[in-house]
Amino acid sequence: MKLIKTAAVGFMLAAFLLGCEKKSGLEGTVVDCRGNPLAGVRIIARQVEEVVGYERFDTISEPDGYFMFDELYPNAAYELTATANGATTGTLLKVESGAKGLTYSIPQPIAVRFYFSSDGTTLFDSKTGLMWARKAVVAGKQMNLEEAMSWVYNLELGGHRDWRLPTKEELEAFITAGGANPANYFNALGVTSVPNPASTWYWSSSSYTERSNYAWIVALWDGSASYDFKGRNYDVWPVRAGQ
C-alpha cells in the first residue's frame, strides 16, 4: 500500500513539474502616443495557432504601464490587443512568448492611440492631443455650416463647453487613422452612432479660399476632402483641445 501511495505521489509531482515546464512569460509596458504610461489597460493575448488551454489570456497594466503574462505556451505566436477605458484597439503587436520557463520582454513600449474618457462620452487621441465626441453623429441630425458652428459652440459634453468644428486637416488626420475602412475601425473601437459611410460627409471649419460661400467637407469612408456650399446639410463631429 505504501509503495502504491509513493508511486502516486511521484506521478502527481512529475505531472506538476511537466505542467510548470510548459509555461512561459511575456512582459512589456503600454503607453499613449506621447510616451505617458497607461494604467488600467486590459491587454489581451490571443494565440495565433491555438493550443488547447493556451488560446487567450488577459491582464491589466499597472500604474507605470507594466503588464505581464506568465502562463503562455512557450515559443508560441500571440496577437496583443488592448482595451483602454472601453476603447478596443485592433491588433497592436504580434509577438512570440518566451522559451520554457523564461519570460520574453517586449523591447519597445506598446503605444495606444485612442481611449475614452472615464464617463464614456469622449474619445481622446493621444497622438494629436485632441478630444472628440464619442458619438460619430452626436447632434443626431445634419445641418448647414452656420447651424453646425452655432450648435457646437453651445455644446456641453463630458464636462466641457469649449467644443468647436475641426479644421480640414484635423478631420482628415482623425478619419484616416482608421485605415482602409474608417467606419469599421471606429465601430470596432467602440465609437457609437457611426453612420452608413456611403453617404457621410462631415463639416470642417475651413473655408474654401477660392469661393467664400463654400467650405471643406471630409468623407468618413476614406478621409478624402471636397468642398460644398455652406448652406448644404452635413454631419458634425465636434472636437476640442484635450491635453
Nearest to 116 by CA among 172, 29, 41, 178: 41
Place of cell 463639416: 203
Nearest to 174 by CA among 111, 90, 242, 114: 114
pLDDT in tens, the chain (243 residues): 443 344 444 433 333 333 445 689 999 999 999 999 999 999 999 999 999 999 999 999 999 999 999 999 999 999 999 998 888 887 789 999 999 999 999 999 999 999 999 899 999 999 999 999 999 999 999 999 999 999 999 999 999 999 999 999 999 999 999 998 999 999 999 999 999 887 899 999 999 998 989 999 999 999 999 999 999 999 999 999 986
Domain architecture of the chain: domains with CATH: 19-112 (2.60.40.10), 119-241 (3.10.100)
Taking the whole predicted model, whether its pTM rises above 0.85 is answered as no
d(CA 97, CA 92): 15
Nearest to 137 by CA among 91, 211, 199, 181: 199
Amino acid 217: pLDDT: 98
Phi, psi of 217 (to 5 degrees): -125, 155
Amino acid 11: pLDDT: 35
| Separation in Å, CA 94 to CA 26, 29, 97, 106 | 12, 15, 10, 11
